Structure 1
Amino acid sequence: MELPKNPRPTTFVPENYPLIEFATSPQLILGEEMLHFNHPQHPLSKLDLPDPFTCSGCKEYGAGMRFTCRQCDFQLHEFCAHASPDLKGHPFHYLHPLTFYSKPGKDGKSKCDVCFKPAKGYAFRCGACGFQMHPCCARLSSETSFLCHPAHTLRLVPANMTGVSGDSGFLCGLCKRKRSGRVFHCTVCDYHLHAVCAKSMVNGLYAYGIKDLEKPSMLGSAARVVSKVVIVLLEGLVEGIAEGFGEVLGEDLARGRGRNGSS
């Protein structure tokens, strides 16, 4: 029997590393740090970067805010890094509590019951009936508004309105396709939105205009390169400023000694 594994991540701020409040616009600023149970060998730094990445926890895509390791390729969505050990009364599955698991189940069930995409990593699962969903899907609600359709509230279509394969048959107003998974519906203008598309407004992809990511291996490589370059440039800038300040200070001290000697 697989047991849940989610000790609370330890959040800390080093003595010479003040906590930084992030603005709404993306900034290349190192902020909060944490030690996470799934990557205990290195601290993770909170960063806001526009490049896409594949979360090392849930194995899903993301962009914008994340916790990243500055020494290797480990990155987590912010909501995956702070995932709760359990969920009670979730609108998608309010009958039973859901428990956080850090690894896929061993019972052969491989899909999220909300977006119908593979559940390859972090997931919330029900021990009573086997329901499961990604941490990103858990951030959705049964009735809410979305950036892509701000005028009206969308409601989640009942699960029994989808076929056995999960194909709802509804044309999504965002991707303009028919796909499997749960669907949100606007009763005012008959607008439909796939849950899998709604996730892009939770994981940062929609905010940065990123879509149609179908090759995770290529994405992962490109994102890691971009992230590493940005972090190296950022650290180099800080070191360069420090070195420049030291050189100027040294020159000033040398000139001061010269003046004192000549007098």
Structure 2
Amino acid sequence: MGKTKLEPQQSNNTITHFSHPHTLELITHQNFAPSQLCSCCKIQANGSVYTCKSCNFFLHVECSQMPQQINHPFDKEHALSLLPKSIYPEGNFRCDACGETGDGFSYHCNSCGIDLHILCAVLPHYITHRSHCHQLEIQFSSPYPSKSFRCDICKNIGTNQWLYRCHTCGFDAHLNCTKLQSHFHQNPTRSSNSRSAPQQYQHHCAGKFLSTYITPVVPIYTT
């Protein structure tokens, strides 16, 4: 058996991607308009981008490499499938991680009704944040009986959503509140593996933050 590949089929700066019916062309170092968003992560197109000019379709290179199925610890029973469009009539979905709506690609479990933003699905297991002296670990539910928590960064309540937590101090934080001034860690015992987050986490593509605890199941294409 050959190696599993995560890249879409490509040839001479063009690819075919499951999310779009037309061939996509690679464009680099072009100034994109603020309204030109990556169809996957809904962040402004920048850097190296695949595009279909006739459809005004854009896809960051990193986003184009996201696997069609992943195993994620949030759903230990099923693989999550990458959907280019929401399955719901209103055309968007509510992310079970951050609680916000989305209209880009999502990871979905039909059996459990789970929907995750691409960027939320690849959040790192551990981070450090300037507001707290210890590493914070991602938690998929509140540790309290009420299933809610008070964010120690913004002081607002979070309900039915993921959080970052310090178990030693009982420090809790919304996902969105930790996206500024954070360092991301692949391994909690090796801080040398950390890398600085951008000023806003939303300005980086999902592929750059693919965590070690998320396992690709089905690649974007099959040979």
User: Shorter-chain-normalised TM-score: which range?
Assistant: 0.5 to 0.7
Q: 1:192 aligns with which of 156, 161, 172?
A: 172
Paired residue secondary structure (1:80)? helix
Distance 1:178 1:54 in 2: 33
* Equivalences for residues 228-247 of structure 1 within 5 A: none
1:117 and 2:117 aligned = no
- Residue of structure 1 in register with 2:119 after alignment: 136
Letter in 2 for 1:170: R
Paired residue secondary structure (1:105)? coil
The structure where helix makes up a greater share of residues is: 1
Paired residue secondary structure (1:121)? coil
Distance 1:48 1:145 in 2: 33
Bigger Rg, structure 1 or 2: 1
Q: 1:86 aligns with which of 69, 82, 93?
A: 69
Q: Classify 1:163/1:131 alpha carbon distance in 2 versus 1 (closer, same or farther; 3 Å).
A: farther
Q: Classify 1:98/1:199 alpha carbon distance in 2 versus 1 (closer, same or farther; 3 Å).
A: farther
In the alignment, is the contact (CA less than 8 A) between 1:53 and 1:61 conserved in 2? no
Q: Classify 1:161/1:62 alpha carbon distance in 2 versus 1 (closer, same or farther; 3 Å).
A: farther
Distance 2:156 2:78 in 1: 30
Distance 1:132 1:55 in 2: 21
Distance 2:47 2:167 in 1: 33
Q: Classify 1:211/1:43 alpha carbon distance in 2 versus 1 (closer, same or farther; 3 Å).
A: closer
Letter in 2 for 1:178: N
Q: Classify 1:126/1:70 alpha carbon distance in 2 versus 1 (closer, same or farther; 3 Å).
A: closer
TM-superposed deviation, 1:140:
1.4
Q: Which runs of 5+ in 2 are unaligned?
A: 1-5, 185-196, 204-223
The structure where strand makes up a greater share of residues is: 2
Distance 2:131 2:45 in 1: 21
TM-score (norm 2): 0.59
1:72-102: CA deviation from partner (whole Å, max 9, x where unpaired): 75433444211111112x1222222111111
* Equivalences for residues 48-197 of structure 1 within 5 A: 55-58=37-40, 60-61=42-43, 67-69=49-51, 71=53, 73-88=56-71, 90-106=72-88, 110-141=93-124, 143-146=125-128, 148=130, 152-161=134-143, 168-173=148-153, 176-178=154-156, 180=158, 181-197=161-177
Letter in 1 for 2:104: G
Q: Classify 1:212/1:66 alpha carbon distance in 2 versus 1 (closer, same or farther; 3 Å).
A: closer
TM-score (norm 1): 0.51
TM-superposed deviation, 1:118:
0.9
Paired residues, number: 179
Q: Classify 1:160/1:190 alpha carbon distance in 2 versus 1 (closer, same or farther; 3 Å).
A: closer
Q: Classify 1:149/1:97 alpha carbon distance in 2 versus 1 (closer, same or farther; 3 Å).
A: farther
TM-superposed deviation, 1:146:
4.0
TM-superposed deviation, 1:37:
4.0
TM-superposed deviation, 1:155:
1.8
TM-superposed deviation, 1:125:
0.8
Paired residue secondary structure (1:61)? coil
Q: RMSD between aligned alpha carbons?
A: 4.3
In the alignment, is the contact (CA less than 8 A) between 1:35 and 1:43 conserved in 2? no
In the alignment, is the contact (CA less than 8 A) between 1:124 and 1:133 conserved in 2? yes
Q: Which runs of 5+ in 1 are unaligned?
A: 1-6, 15-32, 214-263
